[in-house]
Amino acid sequence: MKRALSKKLDTAWSKRIRQYGQCEACNKTKPLHAHHFHGRRCFSVRWDLNNGFCLCAGCHVYSNKFSAHITPAEFTFWAIEQRGQKWYDDLTLKKNTPQKFTDADYDLIYASIWEV
């Protein structure tokens, strides 16, 4: 995949996730980050909105008490409590299902990010 297209999709995905407007964990309103539950290397869910959480900087990367990156086990437990076991199972199945995208697929992915 071309870097420019990947960057365009990453930017759109991040912007869409951050439109939530507040940290899903602590309700702070800034600074907001978009966090991938399953990492960006998992292309089958990289731009899936169900794979994203809107988090403040602390809940994303800085807090030793609760942070998606510093305390990932606690974050995973919290995420499943918030969105449910079915969400986790469905997203993990999609993550583990290899997928090849065509150029047309990327246009559809971009459009799906902005669907309301």
pLDDT band at residue 26, thresholds of 50, 70 and 90? very high
Q: What was the pLDDT predicted at 6?
A: 85
pLDDT band at residue 4, thresholds of 50, 70 and 90? confident
Q: What was the pLDDT predicted at 105?
A: 87
pLDDT band at residue 5, thresholds of 50, 70 and 90? confident
pLDDT in tens, 51-107: 999 999 999 999 888 999 999 999 999 999 999 999 999 999 999 999 888 888 888
**In this model, does residue 1 exceed pLDDT 70?**
no
CA gap 33, 17 in Å, rounded:
8
pLDDT in tens, 30-45: 999 999 999 999 999 9
Q: What was the pLDDT predicted at 2?
A: 73
Contacts 24+ apart (CB under 8 A), 46-51: 46/9, 46/10, 46/13, 47/9, 47/10, 47/12, 47/13, 47/109, 47/113, 48/91, 48/94, 49/13, 49/16, 49/17, 49/112, 49/113, 50/87, 50/90, 50/91, 51/91, 51/95
Q: What was the pLDDT predicted at 13?
A: 97
